[in-house]
Each structure stands twice: as C-alpha cells, then as structure tokens.
C-alpha cells in the first residue's frame, strides 16, 4: 500500500496537456500514450514475475507504468503546467461535483472489496476480483474508451439539442451492438473460459462471472449518459445516479454477503444496477427531451439477437460438455458460431424493421466508405 500510494502521488505530476488529445479528437495520440504506458508495466511485471516469483512484480509493474506515463505526458505534449489560481472559481464550481462523483464511484467499485475482505476473507476476494475483471472486459476495454472519445463531440453539440439527441442514440446503438453479444457470450461460455484461462482451481469463479457479465452489459448500456451530462454542464446528475447505485448496493451487500459470500456480492451489484439503469434511461430521456420509444427502438434488436445467440450457444455448449470435446475446442467452435448467429439475427431484424437509422446504418456506411477508399483506382 505504501509503494502504491507513492505511485498515485507520482501520477499527480503528469502533464495535464495530454487531455487535449481527447478535446481535439487526436485519438491516435491517446492510443499511443495508453499502449506505451501499459506495455511498460506489462514488460516489467512479466520479467519480475518470472525471475522473483512474487506478487511484488505486480507492484513494480504498476509503478513502472505510472512513471512512464508521467515522462511520456511531457514528451508527447508541449504544454508546461505552472502554479496559478486565476481560474480557481470557475474550476471549483464545476470540479466540486467531479470530486464528489469520483468519491462515490470509488466506493461503488471498492465497497465489495471491503465487505468481502472483512466478512469472507482474502481467497474469496481474489476470486471475486478475477471474475469481475473477466466478466467486465467488454465494458472496460471497449465501451469506456468510446465514452471518453465521444465527450468532445457531445460538448460541441450541446448548444444544438437535436444533434446531441441523435448523437447519443447513435453511440448507444453502437455500444449495445457490440457489448450485448460480448457480455452474453461470456455468460454462456464462463465454464470453458475459466478452465482454459485460469484452470480448474478457479472453478468457484464461474457463477460469479455469469452474474457479473450481466452487470457488465447493464453498466455499459448507461456508460454513454455521463458524457451527456458533462457536455451539458450538469455533473450533479451523475452524482445523484452514483449515490443511488451506492445506496442500493450497500443495502444488498449487508443482506447477501453474510449469507452467500462473494456470490452474494455479485448478486448485490447486479441488483443495484438492475434498479439504477432504468432510472438512468428515464433521466437521460427527460434531459434530452427524448421519447422513451426511441431508446426502446435502439435496445430491442441487439437484445433479441443476443438472447437468441445465447440460447443456441448454451444448447451446443451443454451438448459438447457431455461429450469428448475439450474446453479450448468448444471456445474455438462456439465463439465464431455465436458471432455469425448474432450478426445474421441483427441484420435480419434490421431488414424486417424497414432499415431504420441505427448502429447497422452507421457500421454499413463506415464499411462502404472504407471499401471505396481501399479499392484500387482504375488506370486512366
């Protein structure tokens, strides 16, 4: 804890200028910055883990990643920060809500650690955290980068509410199109995934992954709303929703963890999200003066296609599990099959619906544009 606290302090000296990568939509620079920082931590962690066989490899990797990030922030952007209080009033008025939000989000993410660690023990906490990381990969690695990238665009649209409404629906549609099959796929293939990635010693993580993968889908579905409130200058709405989630989760943790342990914690998180997410959609629809039917139209096609995919893959997985097909072969066969079934279902439902504007339109337009650019020009 002492070394990691120093790591956090070091990150406070990062060059704030790199925020311009998002503001100016220079996402290729943000990508290079993030990859270089993570790669440094990965190399140090892997090298030390192999040589010293100790958890200190993880600590050293985290510190290395932070220090490389600080150095790169000055290497990649010319801005040089200096001490000034000129904008203290304006910044504090806005950032006080961000400070409260960050505190609430911290407790929302770490309350389960505190409760499981105290009442169940370190082994159960380790299993829960591994299950959380695996089940929420689509959210952390796909959806959150999208949410960060769209914020500058939302900020520019904030003076034109009709454009912001359409932008929100377009991004929501794209998020759901990818996160629903990914989350439901992890749910239905949790058992072979655990055996292949972690081994049989982690079999207790399977039901946790199944519950938390549903939570990951719900969490991802409203990840787009925070950028809307930030763009409109009303971050206190985020505070309200984060506080609601925290209260619901604490109440459920108090009831479920003493009886069911880490599995109860996963159920508590899922319960809190199941209540908060519909409220979040109601709030954002009223904020944007957006009819509820518009959100439902965005939700139903990927949801129906995802459930159909899950049913087919689950049936085949049970069939394979009773035979001689090993876990790796199951994953190799069922993942592309599930993707094919889902893609065909989404496309079919879109065509049957009369080709409405949505994620399918956005992706087909982007694919067509990419194909035209890649097609070699005919010689004159």
Q: With beta carbons less than 8 A apart as the criterion, state whether 38 and 65 touch.
A: yes
pLDDT surpasses 70 at 35: yes
pLDDT surpasses 80 at 353: yes
Average pLDDT, the chain: 87
Q: With beta carbons less than 8 A apart as the criterion, state whether 108 and 242 touch.
A: yes
Cα distance between residue 144 and residue 220, in whole Å = 8
pLDDT of residue 285: 93
Cα distance between residue 223 and residue 217, in whole Å = 10
Cα distance between residue 61 and residue 43, in whole Å = 8
pLDDT surpasses 60 at 59: yes
Helix 190-197 / helix 292-321 crossing angle, nearest 10 deg: 60
Question: Which of the pair, 177 or 319, is modelled with greater confidence?
Answer: 177
Cα distance between residue 167 and residue 231, in whole Å = 12
pLDDT of residue 156: 84
**Which tokens in the block code for residue 218?**
């719900």
Q: What is the per-residue pLDDT across 289-304, written as a single tens digit (0 to 9) for each? A: 989 888 888 899 999 9
pLDDT surpasses 70 at 224: yes
**Average pLDDT, integer, range 228-256:** 91
What does pTM read for this prediction?
0.80
The closest alpha carbon to 33, from 7, 66, 79, belongs to 66
Cα distance between residue 162 and residue 164, in whole Å = 5
Cα distance between residue 359 and residue 220, in whole Å = 16
| Sequence-ordered alpha helix ranges (H) in the chain | 2-11, 20-23, 27-52, 56-76, 88-119, 122-135, 137-138, 144-157, 161-188, 190-197, 205-221, 225-231, 236-260, 262-287, 292-321, 327-352, 359-374
**Average pLDDT, integer, range 171-176:** 90
* 8-state DSSP, 214: H
Q: Which residue has the tokens 């459920």?
A: 252
Cα distance between residue 73 and residue 18, in whole Å = 6
pLDDT of residue 377: 53
**Average pLDDT, integer, range 251-280:** 94
**Which tokens in the block code for residue 120?**
């169940």
| Of 71-75, 186-190, 251-255, 366-370, minimum mean pLDDT range | 366-370
Residue 49 pLDDT level (bands cut at 50, 70, 90): very high
Max mean pLDDT among 12-26, 54-68, 323-337 falls in 54-68
Give Cα 320 distance to the centre of its chain. Answer: 31
pLDDT of residue 142: 75
pLDDT surpasses 80 at 50: yes
* Percentage of residues of the chain with pLDDT beyond 70: 96
Domain boundaries, the chain: 1-83, 94-360
Return the exposure string of 21-47: e unless at least 16 CB atoms fall within 10 Å of the residue's CB, then b: bbeeeeeeebeebeebbeebbeebbee
Residue 64 pLDDT level (bands cut at 50, 70, 90): very high
Residue 306 pLDDT level (bands cut at 50, 70, 90): very high
Residue 26 pLDDT level (bands cut at 50, 70, 90): confident
Q: Burial, 70: exposed, middle or buried (Cβ in 10 Å; 0-12, 13-18, 19+)?
A: middle
Q: How far is CA 331 from CA 167, 184, 283, 308, 338, in A?
A: 36, 14, 39, 18, 10
pLDDT of residue 375: 63
pLDDT surpasses 70 at 287: yes
Residue 379 pLDDT level (bands cut at 50, 70, 90): very low
pLDDT of residue 380: 44
pLDDT surpasses 90 at 212: yes
């Amino acid at each position: 804890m002492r070394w990691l606290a120093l790591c956090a302090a070091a990150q406070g000296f990062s060059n704030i200028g790199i925020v311009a990568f998002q503001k100016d939509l220079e996402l290729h620079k943000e990508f290079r910055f993030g990859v270089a920082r993570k790669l440094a931590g990965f190399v140090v962690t892997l090298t030390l883990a192999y040589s010293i066989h100790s958890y200190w490899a993880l600590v050293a990797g985290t510190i290395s990643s932070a220090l490389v990030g600080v150095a790169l922030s000055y290497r990649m952007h010319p801005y040089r920060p200096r001490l000034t209080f000129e904008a203290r009033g304006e910044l504090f008025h806005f950032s006080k809500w961000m400070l409260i939000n960050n505190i609430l989000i911290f407790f929302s993410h770490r309350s389960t650690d505190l409760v499981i660690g105290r009442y169940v023990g370190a082994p159960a906490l380790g299993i829960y955290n591994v299950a959380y990381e695996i089940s929420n990969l689509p959210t952390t690695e796909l959806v959150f980068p999208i949410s960060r990238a769209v914020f500058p665009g939302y900020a520019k649209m904030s003076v034109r509410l009709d454009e912001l409404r359409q932008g929100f629906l377009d991004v929501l549609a794209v998020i759901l199109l990818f996160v629903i099959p990914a989350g439901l796929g992890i749910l239905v293939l949790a058992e072979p995934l655990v055996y292949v990635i972690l081994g049989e010693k982690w079999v207790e993580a399977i039901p946790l992954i199944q519950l938390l993968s549903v939570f990951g889908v719900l969490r991802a579905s409203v990840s787009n709303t925070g950028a809307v409130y930030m763009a409109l200058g009303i971050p206190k709405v985020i505070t309200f929703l984060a506080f609601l989630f925290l209260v619901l989760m604490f109440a459920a943790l108090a009831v479920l963890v003493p009886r069911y342990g880490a599995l109860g914690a996963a159920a508590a998180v899922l319960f809190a999200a199941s209540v908060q997410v519909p409220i979040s959609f109601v709030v954002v629809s009223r904020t944007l003066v957006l009819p509820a039917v518009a959100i439902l139209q965005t939700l139903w096609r990927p949801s129906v296609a995802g459930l159909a995919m899950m049913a087919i893959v689950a049936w085949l997985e049970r069939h394979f599990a009773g035979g001689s097909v090993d876990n790796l072969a199951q994953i190799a066969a069922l993942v592309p099959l599930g993707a094919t079934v889902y893609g065909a279902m989404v496309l079919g439902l879109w065509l049957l619906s009369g080709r409405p504007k949505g994620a399918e339109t956005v992706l087909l337009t982007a694919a067509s544009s990419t194909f035209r650019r890649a097609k070699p020009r005919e010689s004159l």
